Amino acid sequence: MMNENVIEVSNLTKKFGHFTAVDHISFNVKKGEIFGFLGANGAGKTTAMQMLCGISMPTEGKGTVAGFDIFKENEKIKRNIGYMSQKFSLYEDLRVWENIRLFGGIYGLSDKVIAKKTDELLEELHFQHERNTLVKYLPLGWKQKLAFSVAIFHEPNIVFLDEPTGGVDPAMRRQFWEMIYAASDRGITVFVTTHYMDEAEYCNRVSIMVDGRIDALDSPAALRSQYNAESMDEVFRQLARKAKRVD
C-alpha cells in the first residue's frame, strides 16, 4: 500500500447554532485504504462525511480530499469522489442501464465510454439479463451492489459509503465486501460507515466517533488489544457507553 494520503483533515468542526455536531476531528486516510468510520447514531458521522464530500461547509478546521481543499475546491472534490447514501440511491423507476447512463452522464463520461463500461459492469456482476429491468424490481442486495458499482463507475479516487449494507442479508453482505476489496485493490480508497461490527473487522483502519469527537483510531487488531477486548463489538461498546448525547 502506498503511503500517499488522499484525505487529510485537522480540527474539522461543524456547528449548527450552539450545537457542535462535529468537534475538532483530525485524521488521515491513505490511498487504497479501507477506512471504517464508526459511531453511534447521532455521533456526527454523516455530518463529517458530508463535509468531506463537499455537500456541507465546515465551520472551522482545514482539510483536503483527493488533494483539493474542502473549503474552496468542493466542485473539484465532487468530480473525484463517488458517494453512496444511506437510503437507496438509484432511481427505482429507471431501468438498470438508464441509471448507469444517467450517472455516467452526470460525471461527464462520453456516450462511448458509458456504453463500453456498462457492458463490462453488467458482465462482471452477471447482470446482463437485468439490463432492461426497472430497478424497483431488483432484490435489495442486488440494488446495493448496483448502487456501489454506479458510485465507482467514473473511477473516483475515493468512494464514500454511508451504511451501504443496511438491511442486507449476511451472504449478500459478504459479496458486497468482496466488491469493496476489489475496488480497494484497484486503488480506490473506500471510506465506509457501518453499524455492523463484523464489517469493522474487514477495514484496514477504523475510527470511532463519540459525541462529535474521534475517540479511537487504529487498525482493528490494535484497537482490540488497546481496549483489551475480544472483538470490535466490545471496543465499540466500551467507547459508546461514554456518550452523553442521546439520539
Minimum gap (Å) between residue 143 Cβ and other proteins: 12
Closest CA to 153 of 225, 236, 82: 82
For other proteins, the closer CB: 88 or 196: 88
Minimum gap (Å) between residue 18 Cβ and other proteins: 16
Minimum gap (Å) between residue 87 Cβ and other proteins: 3
Task: State how far the alpha carbon of 100 is from the alpha carbons of 73, 81, 93, 94, 230, in Å.
Answer: 26, 16, 13, 10, 42
For other proteins, the closer CB: 19 or 241: 19
Distance, in Å, from the CA atom of 220 to the CA atom of 210, rounded to the nearest integer, reads 17
Binding site for other proteins (CB under 8 A): 53-57, 75, 78-79, 81, 83-94, 98, 101-108, 134, 151, 160
Three-state DSSP at 26 gives: strand
Report CA dihedral (56, 60, 66, 68) to the nearest 10 degrees: 100
Minimum gap (Å) between residue 35 Cβ and other proteins: 17
Element (DSSP H or E) covering residue 176:
helix 170-185
For other proteins, the closer CB: 79 or 224: 79
For other proteins, the closer CB: 55 or 240: 55
